[in-house]
């Protein structure tokens, strides 16, 4: 059996187990083609490391190695002649959490207003970007989830987000103000005459891609002074998801630890996370949260905390 055939079996197994396995499959198949061209019938650590390192990004090279180690371990379970490359052969990953930009409601409003000035004037496009920013800000949706929404996903109870990052579907409940904004946008959208059933549409009659949505958001952030020139850090579309998570915790009235746990579980479910630990990544120590913590600590110290 060739390395390509091994790789095809491995990819098929991953997808059968429920993984989308898109980018990892490209890595595994890319290596398999390289190994087959060099007539490698078995995984050779040196060849894996050499191939994985042939990329301009150190981070991506390490990701290549990580994916191929899993492939090699799977093959070695069948035949010990396959070698498993060392885990840190290309160095230890140093993942540093970037400081998120927590946007205020006023800043989000500026972005939404600026979207209305986008070209082409007099079309649905400016309204689509304005609504998309508001939608992500008020629901914490991922950008891919927003652009994938269809008219059939709108229900009386909220928006159905179907088979997303973890192949899970969920119901996103809308605040009454968000529901009103949705209804106003649909009225404008229905005048386009497009046969496409995506909720978000551009003047072309097609939905925006998630990359285009992010690109336009960055331009709007620069235009409104929230972000510097190219290459400088600043808010991005994903910052709206961070902001939603932080604000959701700020507004919660949590008298005890059990309430905190229940609230975090609810927030994790609403955001579509596979584990509540993933939600902690999105939380940031805002002044409001720090004041709440300080007040709770003072009450506990003076004996006025609820028992």
Tell me how far apart the alpha carbons of residues 140 and 178 are, in angstroms, rounded to a whole number. 12
Mean pLDDT of the chain: 89
Kindly report the number of other CB atoms within 10 A of residue 108's CB atom: 20
* pLDDT band at residue 211 under the 50/70/90 scheme: very high
The pLDDT of residue 110 is above 60: yes
268 close to 278: Cβ distance less than 8 angstroms? yes
Q: What percent of the chain has pLDDT over 90?
A: 66
Q: What is the DSSP string of 32-101?
A: HHHHHHTT-SS--HHHHHHHHT-SS-HHHHHHHHHHHHHHHHHHHHH-TTS----TTTT------PPPP-
pTM: 0.69
251 torsion bin: left (phi>0), alpha (psi -120 to 50), beta (else):
alpha
Mean predicted confidence (pLDDT) in 256-261 = 67
Q: Does 281 have pLDDT greater than 90?
A: no
CA distance linking residue 122 with residue 110, whole number of Å: 20
- Rounded average pLDDT over 275-287: 73
Mean pLDDT over 37-51 rounds to: 96
Can you give the pLDDT at residue 306?
47
> Residue 227: helix, strand or coil by DSSP?
coil
Q: Residues 131-159: pLDDT tens digits?
A: 999 999 999 999 999 999 999 999 999 99
Confidence band of 274 (pLDDT split at 50, 70, 90): confident
pLDDT at 201: 97
């Amino acid at each position: 059996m060739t390395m390509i055939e091994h790789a095809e079996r491995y990819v098929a197994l991953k997808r059968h187990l429920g993984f989308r396995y898109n980018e990892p499959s490209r890595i595994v198949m890319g290596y398999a083609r390289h190994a087959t061209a060099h007539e490698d019938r078995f995984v050779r650590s040196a060849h894996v490391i050499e191939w994985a390192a042939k990329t301009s990004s150190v981070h991506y090279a390490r990701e290549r190695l990580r994916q191929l180690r899993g492939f090699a371990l799977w093959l070695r379970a069948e035949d010990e002649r396959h070698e498993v490359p060392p885990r840190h052969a290309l160095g230890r990953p140093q993942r540093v959490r970037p400081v998120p930009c927590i946007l205020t409601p006023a800043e989000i409003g500026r972005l939404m207003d600026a979207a209305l000035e986008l070209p082409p004037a007099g079309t649905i496009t400016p309204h689509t970007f304005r609504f998309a920013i508001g939608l992500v800000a008020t629901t914490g949706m991922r950008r891919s989830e927003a652009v994938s929404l269809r008219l059939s996903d709108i229900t009386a109870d909220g928006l159905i987000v179907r088979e997303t990052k973890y192949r899970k579907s969920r119901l996103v409940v809308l605040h009454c103000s968000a529901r009103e904004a949705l209804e106003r946008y649909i009225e404008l959208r229905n005048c386009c005459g497009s046969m496409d059933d995506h909720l978000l549409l551009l003047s072309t009659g097609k939905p925006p891609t998630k990359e285009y949505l992010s690109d336009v958001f960055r331009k709007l952030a620069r235009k409104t002074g929230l972000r510097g020139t190219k290459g400088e850090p600043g808010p991005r579309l994903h910052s709206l998801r961070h902001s939603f998570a932080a604000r959701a915790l700020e507004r919660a009235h949590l008298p005890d630890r059990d309430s905190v746990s229940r609230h975090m579980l609810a927030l994790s479910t609403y955001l579509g996370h596979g584990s509540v630990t993933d939600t902690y990544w999105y939380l940031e120590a805002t002044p409001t949260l720090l004041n709440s913590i300080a007040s709770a600590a003072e009450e506990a110290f003076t004996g006025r905390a609820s028992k």
